[in-house]
Amino acid sequence: MARQTPIRAIRGMHDLLPDESGRWQQVEDRARAVLEGYGYQEMRTPLVEVSELFKRSIGEVTDIVEKEMYSFEDRGGDQLSLRPEGTASCVRAAIEHGLLDQPRRIWYRGPMFRRERPQRGRYRQFHQIGVEVFGLSGPDIDLEVILLTRRLWQALGLDGLELELNSLGDSDERARYRSQLLDYLRAQEAQLDDDSRRRLETNPLRVLDSKNPDLTEIIAGAPSLLDALGEESRAHFEALCAGLERAGIAYRINPRLVRGLDYYNRTVFEWVTQSLGAQGTVCAGGRYDGLVEQLGGRATPAVGFALGLERLIELSAAEPLARVDAYLIAVGEQAPAAALQIAERVRDALPGIRLLCHCGGGSFKSQFKRADRSGARVALVLGDDELSAQRIGIKPLRSGEEQRDVALSELAERLPPLL
Ligand code: HAM
C-alpha cells in the first residue's frame, strides 16, 4: 500500500510527550498536596455539558460563549459543548448532588476547551487546576484561597508573580456603575472600536477588558468601579486587603480588572507575571455569590479560582527530571533473562524504587549510554560471571565513584544510600 499522509493533532491542541510528563506530574502532585493541606476535596465532572449551562453562567455576551466554545448537536439532537472552564460544571454538580447543605471546599483539574487564536500560553485545549468554595460569604475565605495560591507558588519554587485585586461590588452597585460608565463611554463613542461599540449595548464593563492599545487612554479615564461600591462591599474588600497585609502578601488594586466571565461579584483577582509575554495571567478567580441561584440552586455564596497549567509549567521549567533511579544493565548468555527476575526482587524489596531494566540486548558500552541518558543515579551491572557468583555491580553514574561489587542478597541494602 502507498504510504498515507500522516494525520496531525488539531491546531492549538498538544500532545504531552514522555519527556514532559514528569514535570507535569511533579507540578500536579505538589498542587494536590497543597490543596489537601487546606482540606479541599477533588471532584471530577464530565468534559461535555449541555451548552445552556455555559450560556447561563459565563454569560451570552462573553468572548467564550460568543466565539470560543466547541459546540455541537449530538445524535439525539441535544446541544452540547466541550467545557471551556470548570466553575459552571462544579456548580451544576454541587446542585445536582445536594452538596450545598454545608460549606464545601472542592478542587478539580483537567482539560478545558476554547477556540481562541493559538499563541504562546494560549491554546485550544489547555489544562486548569481549580478550586471552588461553597457556602461561605466572608472575606476570610477569599483570603484563604489567596493564601492557598501563595503556598502553591512556594511549593513550586515560583517567584515574580504579582497579585492584582479588584471588587466588582454586588449587582445593584454594578448596575449603578454600568450606567455611569455608559454615560462616559457614549460621550467617546466615535473613538471606540467595533467590538467595544457593540458591547456598549450588551455588556459595557467588558469594554474595560479590551486589549486594543488605541483604547488605553479612554479606559484609563473611565470612572472607577471601586468608587461605586456600597458600604458592605467596601467593608468586605477592605477586610480582605487588611488580611492580605497581615499575611504579608503584596497586591496591587487594579480598578480595570473585570474578568472575562459574567458570574463574578465583589472580590476578583489575578496572579500575573511579566515573564510569559502577552499571556501573563497564571491564575484568576473571584467571588460569584449569584451563580448557584442562577443555575437553579438555593442562593449560596461562592468563591474560587483556576490556574492555567501550561503557563505555570512554562514558568516553573527548571532542571530536567530523572525518569528513573536505577538502570539495570545485563550482558551475556544467562544474564539478560535473569535480570528481569532480579529487577522484580529489587522492586519487591524497595517499594517505590524506579528501576528500569534494559531489554533488547547490546554491548556494555551501548547499555551504559542508555543508562546515562535515562537520568538514573546508578547502573546495576550484571554479566554472566556476576550471575554465576550471585553478585552484581553497582556503578554510581553521577558522582564519578568507582563501581563496587555486592552480593545479590545484599543489593536491597546497599542500593538505597546511593540513590
Ligand atoms: P479564566 O480567567 O477564564 O477563569 O481562566 C483561568 C486561567 O486559565 C487563566 O488565568 C489562564 O492561566 C488559564 N487559561 C485560560 N484560557 C487559556 C487558554 N486558552 N490557554 C491556556 N491557558 C488558559 C476561569 O476559567 C474561571 N472558571 C476561574 C474561576 C474559578 N473563577 C472562580 N472559580
**Average pLDDT, consecutive stretches of 10 residues, N- to C-terminus, the chain (419 residues):** 93 94 93 97 98 96 93 98 98 98 98 96 98 98 98 93 96 89 91 88 85 88 91 97 98 91 95 91 97 97 98 80 90 96 96 95 95 94 97 95 95 94
Q: Is the CB of 114 under 6 A from ligand 1?
A: yes
Beta-sheet strands, E only, within 184-293: 251-253, 265-272, 281-287
Instruction: Give distance in angstroms: CA of 29 to centre of ligand 1.
Output: 20
| Displacement of CA 292 from its chain's centroid (Å) | 23
For residue 260, what is its C-alpha cell? 472575562
For residue 379, what is its C-alpha cell? 547502573
Atom of ligand 1 minimally distant from the CA of 261: 3
What pLDDT sits at residue 210? 83
Q: Is the CB of 185 under 6 A from ligand 1?
A: no
What pLDDT sits at residue 195? 86
How much is the pTM?
0.90
Give the residue, by CA position, lying nearest to ligand 1 atom 18: 122
Nearest residue to 287 via CA among 305, 299, 272, 273: 305
Give the residue, by CA position, lying nearest to ligand 1 atom 8: 308
What pLDDT sits at residue 205? 87
Residue 228 CA to residue 180 CA, distance in Å, equals: 9
For residue 44, what is its C-alpha cell? 471530577
Binding residues for L-histidine: 85-87, 114, 128, 132, 259, 263-264
Nearest residue to 54 via CA among 44, 46, 43, 64: 64
Q: Is the CB of 142 under 6 A from ligand 1?
A: no
Give the residue, by CA position, lying nearest to ligand 1 atom 14: 308
What pLDDT sits at residue 55? 97
Atom of ligand 1 minimally distant from the CA of 132: 33
Q: Is the CB of 58 under 6 A from ligand 1?
A: no
Give the residue, by CA position, lying nearest to ligand 1 atom 17: 122
Q: How many CA atoms lie within 13 A of 325 on its CB side?
A: 14
Atom of ligand 1 minimally distant from the CA of 122: 20
What pLDDT sits at residue 211? 80
> Which is it for strands 326-331 and 302-308: parallel, antiparallel or unpaired?
unpaired
